[in-house]
Amino acid sequence: MAVKIAVSVLLLAVLFSRIDVSRLWRIARGASPWWLTIALGVFLINVIASTWRWRILLKAQHVDVPSRRLFASFLVAQFFNNFLPSNVGGDVIRISDTARPAGSKTLATTIILIDRGLGLLGLVLVAALGATAAGTVHPAALPIWPVWLWAGFLFAAAASAPAVLAPDGFGRMLQPLTIFHPEWVGERISTVTAVLARFRERPAVLAECFGGAVFVQASIVVFYFIVAYALHLNVSMWDLAVIVPVSFVIQLLPVSVNGFGVREATFTFYFARIGQPIESALLVSLVAQALVMLFSLLGAAVYISRTHKSG
């Protein structure tokens, strides 16, 4: 944790040392409150769509949890993801809230992992589409070739397909893990195999959820675009469709506190390549993250309310 904090602080310090902070503050103060409010509304739609996708996956496994309860759980997960030093905390909340109705922590965990996997596929697809479009405007500025993103998307899709198309074979691949605890691990592998088999019987569910994942990732890009528009910055939607997903992937590296510093450095690198100043990169990244954290406070209210009720 000390190393993560040091990395985040060091990167932010370096970036801020290269700009006029007073100018940055003046631009931030000139932001349109109306458009920032609209950005929050888009983020709300994003959370609703994410909750819907989660519920679809649960229902396919015959786990019926009310949408309102899942929405509240997702809000709490958002709060934990943004205010704890790791985004794993949010997944723990979601698993905990669905393990009892699912009758199995393994089943609840598997659904979260599938949800994450579909989200990552959607993320790469949106980045590939954005890079293809942005490449027609300034191909030399792209930090990553569109063909790499398309190849990554196709490889990830092909690599994950056998788990659904041949769940029994996937289960046999996991059998060596039983060396650690034959009975306990064996039961978990059986549960995972059964979950995958049910999804194989309902491919339309996975297709529907993948479409939802693409919508969720695209709406995040729109959210960032509106933030940039509110700040009166001239950044195209297609450029944001590249940098936002790429920054999310880079943030998965466990080298900083919730991506701070690493995210801003990634935005700065890309913005510099397309002729945008460092101030613009920092403003888009930090203001968008501030709005996300502000929205996440709803999760804190839900969490406190649930704690009082259980007490």
* Mean pLDDT computed over 81-88: 74
- Is 200 exposed, middle or buried (CB count within 10 Å of its CB: 0-12, 13-18, 19+)? middle
Residue-wise pLDDT for 4-62, tens only, equals: 888 888 988 888 888 888 888 888 888 999 999 999 999 999 999 999 999 999 999 99
Q: Give the chain's domain count.
A: 1
Confirm whether 40 is domain-assigned. no
The share of the chain scoring above pLDDT 70, in percent, equals 97
End-to-end CA distance of the chain: 32
Confirm whether 248 is domain-assigned. yes
Instruction: Read off the pTM.
Output: 0.91
Confirm whether 24 is domain-assigned. no
**pLDDT winner (highest mean) among 139-143, 207-211, 259-263:** 207-211
Res 309: pLDDT: 67
Confirm whether 214 is domain-assigned. yes
Res 115: pLDDT: 94
Residue 86's pLDDT band (boundaries 50, 70, 90)?
A: low
Residue 308's pLDDT band (boundaries 50, 70, 90)?
A: confident
Range of the domain at 53: 45-142+204-310
Residue-wise pLDDT for 102-125, tens only, equals: 888 999 999 999 999 999 999 999
**Rounded to whole angstroms, how far apart are CA atoms 124 and 245?**
7
- Is 237 exposed, middle or buried (CB count within 10 Å of its CB: 0-12, 13-18, 19+)? middle
Residue 282's pLDDT band (boundaries 50, 70, 90)?
A: very high
Confirm whether 5 is domain-assigned. no
Do residues 122 and 97 make contact, with C-beta atoms less than 8 angstroms apart?
no
Mean pLDDT lowest among 88-92, 128-132, 230-234: 88-92
Give the number of other CB atoms < 10 A from CB of residue 100.
11
pLDDT surpasses 70 at 93: yes
**Rounded to whole angstroms, how far apart are CA atoms 128 and 242?**
7
Confirm whether 82 is domain-assigned. yes
Confirm whether 72 is domain-assigned. yes
Confirm whether 244 is domain-assigned. yes
Residues contacting residue 43 through CB under 8 Å, at least 6 positions apart: 219, 223, 291, 292, 295
Residue-wise pLDDT for 196-227, tens only, equals: 888 888 889 999 999 999 999 999 999 999 99
Helix, strand, or coil (residue 84): coil
pLDDT surpasses 80 at 88: no
* Mean pLDDT computed over 83-105: 84
**The length of the chain, given as a count of residues:** 311
Res 59: pLDDT: 93
